[in-house]
Amino acid sequence: MRITIISIFPDLVRTFLGAGLVGRAVEAKTLETKVVDLRDHAHDRHRTVDDVPFGGGGGMVLKPEPLFEAVETHRQPGDAVILLSPQGEPLTHALATELAGSRGLLLLCGRYEGVDERVRLELVDREVSIGDYVLMGGELPALVLLEAVARHLPGVLGNETSAARDSFAQGLLDFPHYTRPQEFRGLRVPDVLVSGDHGAVAAWRRQEALRATWAKRPDLLERAALDETDRAVLASLGRDSA
Ligand code: ADE
């Protein structure tokens, strides 16, 4: 898969793309990335990419000309052009999975107060938000989206941790994890995890995922795929809390 990122902070983006499992995926060419400096597409002496908003008010708006030129120069066939903005559709596990099936993504990082509306109207296929809060720009959101998508590409995670096994793939929060030592400051790892009984471990993990979701994000349970055993576990949690 190919991901192109257009930003006024190309070095920040490149640093991230060199690190960790994303860095490894880039090295292995599972993920092909290109970082474009928006200022390379601004042709005045000061390489200006922003201007004051028509109608007044504070802040600056990213100008259309550099963004149009950057997208038209670097967009490749099959690329979905995505603008990161707080006005976008929420980034979810389902959206990350869907985007991982694209041939390519071209990510536009907004800055300042916003992006000239003609960019959104003419160039953008999808607008994506990483949450209901406002950041100073789209770089971190673009990297969040990239990492959420990259996890779904074959070979990026080891077999043991495939994205299909993510808790969110099942619509639930994750179960608790433990590692050595078995006892730490008087706190013991639950016996079932050291029992060697794989069936019992799986049942415990499912129960704890249901418990965490019920306690912290009950809204998720309305959409999760639950079977009879899950419903019995949830019913017993309800009784426990009463
Ligand atoms: N740019 C600024 N804030 C953002 C957000 N919450 N999501 C995506 N892009 C943004």
Distance 132 CA to ligand 1 centre (A): 8
Tell me the mean pLDDT in the region 109-136.
Answer: 95
The predicted structure's pLDDT at residue 113: 83
Helix, strand or coil, per DSSP, at residue 136: coil
User: DSSP readout, 161-183?
Assistant: G-GGGSGGGGTSPPPP---S-SE
Angle at 76 between CA 169 and CA 69, to 5 degrees: 115
Give the pLDDT confidence score for residue 166 in this predicted structure.
81
Q: Is 220 in the pocket of ligand 1 (CB under 6 A)?
A: no
Q: Across-strand partners of 105?
A: 3, 80
Region 198-221 average pLDDT: 97
User: Which pLDDT belongs to residue 160?
Assistant: 60
Beta-carbon contacts of 91 under 8 Å, excluding residues fewer than 6 positions away, are 128, 129, 130, 131, 141, 144, 145, 148
Is the Cβ atom of 129 under 6 angstroms away from ligand 1?
yes
Which atom of ligand 1 is least distant from the CA of 130? 7
7 lines ligand 1 (CB under 6 A): no
Residues 131-181: pLDDT tens digits?
Answer: 999 999 999 999 999 999 999 999 889 766 678 878 888 899 999 999 999
pLDDT tens-digit series, residues 24-58: 999 999 999 999 999 999 999 999 999 999 999 98
Q: Cβ(171) to ligand 1 under 6 A?
A: no
Question: Would you state the structure tokens that stand for residue 188, as one six-digit string?
Answer: 């013991």
Q: List, by residue number, the catalytic residues.
A: 86, 113, 151, 166
Q: Are strands 187-188 and 183-184 parallel, antiparallel or unpaired?
A: antiparallel
